[in-house]
Structure 1
Amino acid sequence: MLHSDAAPARIDEQEIRLLPKAEVHVHLEGTFALGDILRLAKENGVALPGPAATIFDVSTHDGFTRPEVSTGGTAQGVGGAGLSGFLRFLDWQCGLVRSGEQAARVAYSFAARQTASGVRYSDVIVNPTHWNAWRGREIALMEALAAGFDEAEQDGLGSANIAYSLLRGQSAAEAEQLIGDLVSRRPARVVAVSVDGDEKASGRTGEKFRGAFRLAESAGLRRTVHAGESSGPEGVWDALDLLHAERIDHGVRSIEDPALIQRLIDDDVPLGVCPRSNVTLGLYADWAAHPLPRLVEAGVRVTLNTDDPAPLACTIDEDWAVAAEVYGFDRAQLARFAAESIRASFADDDLKRELLAELELLTPALAGAAPGGTP
């Protein structure tokens, strides 16, 4: 049951953390902890853009204000003049990562953060355009991050693979060159390609990136695309038809197009939904106005994610608890979300089976009832 007239008992975050789960829509650029930033700034002799206590509240910094509109790139709980200011903040932050050791440390810290929230596997999105010190060395950045993820996994933390993301403003030629290099060198842990950036500012970019995505698809890389946030349903259609997206990041405005909803159901395409991000950015007035429960009721495959948890000041277990409270989701539905997150991920089949089996032991008869009964 998705809704109840009676107020449900609040489901505690600790209970949610115990559910084996994956996260499929989270940006590494949006997960730097305050301690990570302070240490990196000190190592590089770089001044902070403002007081450490308010570093994520960049509205206190000159040139940075809170966003007024939603965008389709990395979520964007802070940012000057909309997305542009937040992207400047990300560029500054990621620009502090200048060595392989520092990049590996950021990856390790991400894995620790995810594990603390009960996330056992992550498809983490990395957009190299933010990492200024690595321009022209994008593959080296991927290798350094993979080394950090390797160490984290060896230490018993959750597993992570990388979705290498293009920026919507890049040209078709640049995108094809980057993906061609990725395909020829195949750095460890890069399992997918993505597109993010400002949909509204860039317009429809599906045709521009068709060649790069075909190259990735022919090489066996998975495909996920940011769409259906500021772009409306047409961005999702383009992601499906032109880029052969296997998963849509956001996708919430699909609810505006019944034919698109049916297409998502028929093609078994999951959405990586991030309600807090959508509400914080003003796409919806509040959680109650968000279409998440309508997407679930329509039969669309839905996963619940954080997008950029550090600037949004959230964790995935907290957001699942809010969703349960606002929408009346019960424990059975949360178990189905956990199972769906695992199935929608780009983890290998062995890990999916392992996590689903563990989930079913914790929630008998619930995990097996989730949509798409096999990994």
Structure 2
Amino acid sequence: MSSPPVEEQLRVALAGLVDGLPARQASTAVDRLIAHYRGTTPTHTPVLRDHADVVAYAAYRMPATFEAVVSALTAFADRAPHWSPASHLDVGGGTGAAVWAASLVWGDGPGADSGEVLPVRRTTVLDWAQPALALGRELAGGSASASLRAARWETGKLSATALAAAARTERTPAPAPPVELVTVSYVLGELTAEDRRETVAAAARAGRAVVVVEPGTPDGYLRVREARDLLVDAGLTVLAPCPHSAACPLTPGEDWCHFAARVSRSSLHRQVKGGSLPYEDEKFSYVAAMRPGAVNGTPAGARIVRKPQLRKGQVLLDLCGAGEVMGRTTVSKRHGALYREAREAAWGGVWPPEQGPDEP
């Protein structure tokens, strides 16, 4: 009998957690977390302080964080289709949304689904909030994923020293990057400017591929943009969402690059968030980069950076293209099959559509 999908396993695990938490306690913790995410973040202590905070966070934010990271990792995997990470370090991973996302995108690691007896992906989560790590370990322990069940949950301040120590336990000799994939998701906003730069620089040294995800706000985009510059300066090549590694063509303060992931709301999620719709859209910004020679991948020709606008007989697409080019293209009925493709195009997708090996 096959295991339930990864997202269903996570939903069931979260429901079991909240069942044991008094409603008033959960509500108070959620209200405080909402105030935190909408305000200025303290940087001297972890945001998640105790078990109630962590359970509230997991119910309130983990489904959306999971879907946003799934979208970013999927975009990266599309650009490097023959690559699957054998090791993964999640920096500031908290309850582990990113490692669940990696399990959905890549399974348990290279060859894990081939029937061969091969090691599962080596997974490490590093965070300074011990209650979050404890809950993440509990959630992962009930998963059908071997890589999640075997994950290490390391407590430590998000510093270059701690990150390097967590990475070096992978036992890969220096000077090669010891980890194949490093994720830094929804954590840079909790750090000082100096710590942000230090963390991203350390991630670039530690990983053959680095994926950074932040909320899709103007400030979140600026943090991703800064991380992108640091990754490029460290010698990495951007694979997604940008079709190039040159300077971002957007003017800070006037526009920001972000995308949206559809999040299905369970009854638990609607209860915790006080909403009635069966879904929500999580806005996020991200950058995915790889070290040349370590990962084989190719950036897209152009990326759709806004929701396509449908007009009578026309589709308007806002595109970021190679060579620091940002502009709008119009696809009309006279373009035939391309017009039909444009009507199905999605925000965040590649344009023009790329043909598979068996397509004419």
TM-score by length of 2: 0.38
More helix by share: 1
TM-score by length of 1: 0.37
Structure possessing the higher relative contact order (Cα contacts under 8 Å, 6 or more residues apart): 1
More strand by share: 2
> Who wins on radius of gyration, i.e. which is larger?
2
